Amino acid sequence: MYRPARVSSASRSLNPYMVCFVVAAAVVILAVTVALLVYFLAFDQKPYFYQSSFQILNVQYSDELSSPVTQKYRTLSGRIESMITKTFKESNLRNQFVRAHVVKLRQSGSDVIADIVMKFKFTRNNNGASMKSRIESVLQQTLNDNGTLAMNLSTELTPLSDQDTVNMLTQVCGTRPDLITLSEERIIGGTKADRGDWPWQVSLQRGNLHRCGAVLISSTWILTAAHCFRSYSDPRQWTATFGISATSPEQRIGVRSILIHNNYKPETHENDIALVRLAREVTFTRNVHMVCLPEATQNIPPGSTAYVTGWGSRRYSGSTVPDLVQARVNIISNDVCNAPAGYNGAVLPVMLCAGLPQGGVDACQGDSGGPLVQEDSRRLWFLVGIVSWGYQCGLPDKPGVYTRVTAYRDWITQQTGI
Ligand code: 4AZ
């Protein structure tokens, strides 16, 4: 029996519009694929981290360089970072270099060695070996800032994983997420904090309820206000939690001992400071690590910006909040704060005022013991105050009053060795 071939019937029925559509679709898909490939190979940049050490010529090691918060350490680290930045900005890697940060200054004989992490952005079509040799060739020129500081690359450049970089930078005091990722931007938005924004913030809890703020200053010590322990001073009643949620924290640790300042005077709020020793060490993570303590001589200029953080109430006599809140305030001089319309002389030299002249932004009940911090030029954060007292919250001329941490720097060393 005769049957017409199926193929010929199909080809006769092939719709020319359909053919056009299929061809057009194939062309579009091909174009998009090529465009994406070109974009990823040529434009999409990925961060790469490297570690290296430099020998600093013409600087003698001295004791002042043994602590990362001394003026000498901070100035030298800042100069090394600017010198590396300047060298890269003037090289053919100016578009790939992002940032350099001194992680540690250490002694080698009478010399100083600086351990440094650097961030670069390269497109994916660069291979690791060529990037490394390009960076090394820029660094191998002796770096020099007008002859006052010179340095030599003293170890090979080592690539770091993202996790290695986080681990190194969370061992350094006062680092926030922008510094941990060595990013260019610095943002503190809104009032609700993001995870890891204030990694030194601690919640002191009794009966699993937030009672006071506190600040992580080493892996075993936290600093807080003495008045937090006025009614309950038995360490077994207290726990410390870490992470931005006070109700579901990232770590919870018992308290071994509480050291209240011997001369704490509740009537005048004098020496409103206490140290709490944790029952075990905190695990430092991206979201939990320590703040920098200032030197006793660190200057805190009136008018400068500071941030206070806590789970305290949003209005006087309100309840505490579950998620950490931050507030931007300005340092107010003790003279201004002690004006007759203000605290009329009640603010002593060992105290510090911060707020806004018109009021509105302030620490409040439940923030007590928590940190008032300031950022330095290298983007490290320093503890300048501990939330202590004030007349209600956010009223004009009645700013928050803080324990002035610089006044207790030596006391902290005597008690803890830090
Ligand atoms: C308090 O009662 C408290 N506005 C803490 C801080 C301030 C006022 C009161 C500052 O814990």
387 lines ligand 1 (CB under 6 A): yes
Residues of the chain with CATH 2.40.10.10: 198-278, 305-416
Residue nearest to atom 8 of ligand 1 (CA): 390
Ligand 1 atom closest to the Cα of residue 392 is 8
294 lines ligand 1 (CB under 6 A): no
Provide the whole-model pTM.
Answer: 0.89
* pLDDT at residue 41 in the model: 65
Which positions ≥6 away from 348 have C-beta within 8 Å?
268, 270
CA geometry: angle 388, 354, 197, nearest 5 deg: 85
pLDDT of 11 > 80? The answer is no
Backbone φ and ψ for 284, nearest 5 degrees, come out as: -70, 130
Residue nearest to atom 2 of ligand 1 (CA): 365
Residue range 305-416 forms a domain whose CATH class is mainly beta
400 lines ligand 1 (CB under 6 A): yes
Centroid of ligand 1 to alpha carbon of 156 (angstroms): 53
Choosing among 2.40.10.10, 1.10.3470.10, 1.10.760.10, 3.40.50.720, the CATH entry for 198-278 is: 2.40.10.10
* pLDDT at residue 280 in the model: 98
272 lines ligand 1 (CB under 6 A): no
Catalytically active residues, by annotation = 227, 272, 368
* pLDDT at residue 193 in the model: 92
Ligand 1 atom closest to the Cα of residue 227 is 11
| Domain at 45-169, CATH homologous superfamily | SEA domain (3.30.70.960)
The pLDDT > 90 percentage for the chain reads 76
Residues of the chain with CATH 3.30.70.960: 45-169
364 lines ligand 1 (CB under 6 A): yes
- pLDDT digits 0-9 by tens, 44-73: 788 999 999 999 988 999 999 989 999 999
- pLDDT digits 0-9 by tens, 142-190: 566 666 788 888 888 999 999 999 999 999 999 999 999 988 765 554 4
Q: Work out the number of other CB atoms within 10 angstroms of the CB of residue 100.
A: 22
Q: Averaged over 328-336, what is the pLDDT?
A: 97
